[in-house]
Amino acid sequence: MSTPILGPLFSVLADPNVAYVLFILGIVGLVGEVHHPGTLFPGIVGGLALVLALLGFSVLGVNWIGVALLVVAAGLFVAEAHTPGFGLFALSGILAFVAGSLLLFIPLLGLAPATTGRYVSPWLIAFGAIVLSSYVLIVVRAVLHTRHLPTRSGRETLLGREGVATSDLTLRGTVRVGGEDWSAIAEVGPISAGETVEVLAVEGITLRVHRPYEWRLPEVAPH
């Protein structure tokens, strides 16, 4: 009963290029979900694409060594994204990707008559290699770099910001930074009301400030 409904779908999936594109899209989606957890969209799209690709593989007959090489290629690209520069992992990933793509629909015991003509377009292989490697090495690497940037929250965001002294700071006084008034200690020397100050440190609700580019001279030990 389901054959008339699934027939058109299987006829589309029986195109090696369609099944191949779906498989690559599935890999990209799952890699995206791993590196963007909680977004759901990449994972859902990737999972659906992989299911459709596997249906296509079941119709076409697939060389699982080719599939394994494509998965290994994705893993090598991800490993490269975690390392600086462009090196051995990336080159190995490209070679594994191309080899896996070429072997994908070639039976293990040689080309059978039933599978003659079933291969992925070389242009599509080149395009897939560019898309997969670019996504992992550019997008994923950028995400990983962002995650490793130091994060500031709360009072730490005041460090390095400039404000203005709202009272004379012979030692202690008040300053306005980020639209709020703070108790402040002049780190280097007296600061007059109205002068620009820069935050050096945050100690509770007290800021240590100085004039921008004003630094304490090193103390010389007495002889």
Q: pLDDT 10s per residue in the chain (223 long)?
A: 444 555 676 677 778 888 888 888 888 887 777 766 666 777 788 889 888 888 888 777 888 888 888 888 888 877 776 776 666 777 888 888 888 888 888 876 554 434 445 678 888 888 888 887 777 777 766 766 565 545 454 556 777 788 888 888 887 888 988 778 888 888 877 888 888 888 888 887 788 888 876 655 444 444 4
In a domain, 221, yes or no: no
Written as six digits, the tokens of 160 are 């390095």
Question: Which residue shows structure tokens 């460090």?
Answer: 159
In this structure, the answer to whether residues 167 and 120 fall within a common structural domain is: no
Helix or strand or coil: residue 93?
Answer: helix
- Rounded CA separation 92/79 (Å): 11
- Rounded CA separation 163/196 (Å): 6
Using only the alpha carbons of the chain, give its radius of gyration.
30
Asked if residue 40 lies in contact with residue 84, where contact means CB atoms within 8 angstroms, the answer is no
Query: In which element (H, E) is residue 157 found?
Result: none
- Rounded CA separation 132/79 (Å): 13
Closest CA to 89 of 51, 141, 163: 141
Give buried/exposed letters for 117-146 (b at 16+ CB in 10 A, else e): ebbbeeeebeebbeebbebbbebbbeeeee
In this structure, the answer to whether residues 119 and 162 fall within a common structural domain is: no
- Rounded CA separation 209/197 (Å): 6
Q: What are phi and psi of 141, to 5 degrees?
A: -60, -40
Last residue of a domain, one of 131, 147, 163: 147
Q: Collect all residues with Cβ–Cβ distance below 8 Å to 62 and sequence separation of at least 6.
A: 104, 105
Domain span at 158? 154-210
In a domain, 223, yes or no: no
How many C-beta neighbours within 10 Å does residue 196 have? Answer: 13
Last residue of a domain, one of 147, 175, 191: 147
In this structure, the answer to whether residues 188 and 89 fall within a common structural domain is: no
Residue type, position 132, single letter: L
In this structure, the answer to whether residues 140 and 158 fall within a common structural domain is: no
Last residue of a domain, one of 147, 162, 193: 147
Residue 144 confidence (pLDDT):
60
How many domains does one find in the chain? 2
Q: Longest C-alpha distance within the chain, in Å?
A: 101
Helix or strand or coil: residue 191?
Answer: strand
In a domain, 215, yes or no: no
